[in-house]
Structure 1
Amino acid sequence: MTTRKLGRSGIEVSALGLGCWAIGGPLWGEDGQPYGWGEVDDDESVRAVHRALDLGVTFFDTASNYGAGHSERVLGRALGGRRDSVVVASKFGNTFEEQTRLATGADGTPEYMLSCLDGVLDRLGTDYLDLYQLHLGHLPTEQALELVDPLEKLVAQGRIRAYGWSTDDPERAAAFAEAGPNCAAVQYDHSVLNDNAAMVDVLARYELAGINRGPLAMGLLTGKYHGAAGRIGGDDVRGKSPEWLQYFTDGVPTPQWAELVDRVRQALTADGRTLTQGALGWLLARSPWTLPIPGVRTVAQAEENFATLALGPLPEAAFAEVESLLAELR
């Protein structure tokens, strides 16, 4: 139960991956909106990646714009001579200026997809990428499908092994999967607080890996911020929440979501897991195609998150209890 297939690519990966958004550090919108997770210690990030490797993690998910390329540079440094023993995913579509850490917009054209890959490989220090993902979830399907042939050519050239789309829309995911044989994954928001049954059906129908971003509801399911007196800093995306970030409001947990955490806490921790481990175990139990990617910034976070690999999916009785508790809300 410690490994899963990366969809129909057949690539074997750890059942939990490491999400690398946070280790990218600050990223700012032109309007002053933060899109990173605040300042980070790069040396600690490297140690956290190394600890994850020790605990059996072989799948690492980043994006070209996380920290305006900084996440990829830190990950490349951390993986060092271990590149061939891991599976690395990145994303394209969001544009940025690396030197100023500025998010500048979006570009879903084939031309940008190709030029972005050059930068991705350079920052990671590798000559191939295992999974290359479109990062623009609301791109019109017709435009996204124009990327399929160029992506298939990249697979044929050996520059990537597979590709996917980061979108919460099951219809978009299905269309992408139907269009290209080497489409292996869809990345979407999924946690015990935010189920997506329609997407789970798509995963099974097309044999796609469901890479679960937000598996801990942006940190809410760690319990760390529940009832906390202080606010998350203003350089953190949760500290000045954009409209799509529902779990936090101006740096504190949104009350209705915090109440949901209280509702499922006991069921998620009944067998001795921490709340974090219970939330990740719920996702592992949800479907054989799910692949949660909790983020880490410290060794301690890596140790807690990836101890779930040994614990495995949430037991059937606990999973059923969580479903019963939340049924009236879905």
Structure 2
Amino acid sequence: MTTTRRLGRSGIEVSAIGMGCWAIGGPLWAGDQPLGWGEVDDDESIRTIHRALDLGATLFDTSSNYGAGHSERVLGRALQGRRDRAVIATKFGYPTDETTRQATGEDASPAYARQSLEGSLRRLGTDHVDLYQLHVNGLPVPQALELVDTLEGLVTEGKIRAYGWSTDNPASARAFAAAGPHCAAIQHDQSVLRDNAEMFAVCDEFDLASLNRGPLAMGLLTAKYQGTPAPRGGDDVRGVAPEWLPWFTDGVPTAQWAERVARVREVLTADGRTLAQGALGWLLARSPRTLPIPGCRTVAQAEENIGTLAYGPLGAEASAEVERLLADLRTAPANA
């Protein structure tokens, strides 16, 4: 069974399922609006990363603004003595104040791309990042293209191996990929609940990897939310969901999305998988370019997510049944 995939035209081999590191960053705020996943146990986060490595995960996706840099610091600690086993993807574009844990706006300038990378390298304790991603989803294409020369220069200098853009807009992705030979990946919202067929066409056209952001709908596609939980605390973005987060209202799954999960739960779990493993298996079957990066904060979550590889992609009949069940509800991702 194939458990690795290629990171687009970079040629880098990575695990077919990676680990998203937003949640291990801990609190982040924009004024009173939480942007993190609440308090975390750094020691458990490190154990989780080590367990993911032991299970065969090699792709770890973080960002300079997750927990105002805390996610990168924790990942760097966990990879001490293990850096050669990991492919690190990080992002830039959203400055933060590490002291106050406050987001301080947006900066996608070429100068900031370099400045942010230096901070990421320092926090990660490494001399290079494998995939460096523009984080500003809706940045106008002309501004994004101004970054290409700088990013290509960072490749030449050996500070990054490849770059990409975290955007849900296929036209933006196409323009960016066409402009730079070392653009290797697009990170976009993608799950069994929301498909982006146009983005897969772009990835096929330019030989890009599809990094799947939100593959478990921020926990909605897990057993944790099969019932109706009590609202979460005020430091969790799901408890005070901003406009761009549709899955939850005051910590409770939004009715329309909960209904979609209910429709497909039986199909996704029919062969013994958990709900999360079924959702990840659907993504593996969706395209040979997909690289789901589910977030996890505990060893048990890492074991469940990476355990999907033992099952492999969801079967053709099950995938077709999922499409039948959701055909009247398919919604393209919002370009938030």
Question: Please, what TM-score do these two structures have when normalized by structure 2?
Answer: 0.97
Match of 1:318 in 2: 318
Match of 1:217 in 2: 217
Following TM superposition, where does structure 1 have runs of at least 4 consecutive aligned residues deviating by more than 3 angstroms?
Answer: none
Match of 2:20 in 1: 19
Amino acid at match of 1:24: G
Amino acid at match of 2:116: C
Match of 1:195 in 2: 195
C-alpha contact 2:53 2:85 (8 A) present in aligned 1? no
C-alpha contact 1:226 1:253 (8 A) present in aligned 2? no
Q: CA deviation at 1:223?
A: 2.8
CA deviations 1:66-93 (Å, max 9, x no partner) are: 0000000000001111111210000000
Amino acid at match of 1:23: I
Q: Percent identity?
A: 71
Match of 1:29 in 2: 30
Q: 2:137 & 2:213 partners in 1: Cα distance?
A: 13
C-alpha contact 1:164 1:183 (8 A) present in aligned 2? yes
Match of 1:168 in 2: 168
Q: 1:229 & 1:76 partners in 2: Cα distance?
A: 33
Give RMSD over aligned pairs.
0.7
Match of 1:85 in 2: 85
Q: CA deviation at 1:234?
A: 1.2
Aligned length: 329
Q: 1:28 & 1:116 partners in 2: Cα distance?
A: 19
User: What SS class does the counterpart of residue 188 from structure 2 fall into?
Assistant: strand
CA deviations 1:158-214 (Å, max 9, x no partner) are: 000000000000000010000000000000000000000111111111110000010
Match of 1:144 in 2: 144
Amino acid at match of 2:191: S
Match of 2:104 in 1: 104
Q: CA deviation at 1:328?
A: 1.8
C-alpha contact 2:223 2:274 (8 A) present in aligned 1? no
User: What SS class does the counterpart of residue 235 from structure 1 fall into?
Assistant: coil
Q: Does 1:275 align with 2:275?
A: yes
Q: How does 1:1-330 map to 2 (within 5 A)?
A: 1-30=2-31, 32-330=32-330
Q: 1:166 & 1:278 partners in 2: Cα distance?
A: 24
C-alpha contact 2:229 2:251 (8 A) present in aligned 1? no
Match of 2:334 in 1: none
User: What SS class does the counterpart of residue 67 from structure 2 fall into?
Assistant: coil
User: What SS class does the counterpart of residue 199 from structure 1 fall into?
Assistant: helix
Amino acid at match of 2:129: L
Amino acid at match of 2:29: W
Q: CA deviation at 1:12?
A: 0.2
User: What SS class does the counterpart of residue 36 from structure 1 fall into?
Assistant: coil
User: What SS class does the counterpart of residue 68 from structure 1 fall into?
Assistant: helix
Question: Please, what TM-score do these two structures have when normalized by structure 1?
Answer: 0.99
Unaligned stretches of 5+ residues in structure 2: 331-336
Amino acid at match of 2:95: T
